Amino acid sequence: MKDQVFKSILLVLIVGGVIIWLAAIIFYGMGGMETTFFICITSQLLIIICCALVIRAFHQQANSDSLTGVSNRRRFFAKMAGVFGQRLPI
């Protein structure tokens, strides 16, 4: 489950940002702030993309060896927990 969240972290952050902006528009209205609004949205999107890339890189570093790229113990135990939870035929 955690792996799926980290793989789609960019989408999660963008949706969260859109929800916050829509709430701000609903509660406060535009009021002649079109250019400021556009600048704020583009800067927020750039920040979201940078944060998502950093989070994805940290997740990859936490679950693999930096020298060889092979999965480490944390990744192994996470995968084995999923395998042992399945009902496999004997």
Which residue segment(s) compose the domain that 42 sits in?
2-82
pTM (2 d.p.): 0.59
Tell me the pLDDT tens digit for each residue of 3-13.
676 677 778 88
Q: Is the pLDDT of residue 59 over 70?
A: yes
Domain count, the chain: 1
66 in a domain, yes or no?
yes
46 in a domain, yes or no?
yes
Grouping H, G, I as helix, E, B as strand and the rest as coil, residue 64 is strand
90 in a domain, yes or no?
no
47 in a domain, yes or no?
yes
Instruction: Map 12-50 to HEC letters.
Output: HHHHHHHHHHHHHHHHHCCCCCHHHHHHHHHHHHHHHHH
The C-alpha atoms of residue 16 and residue 88 are separated, in whole angstroms, by 38
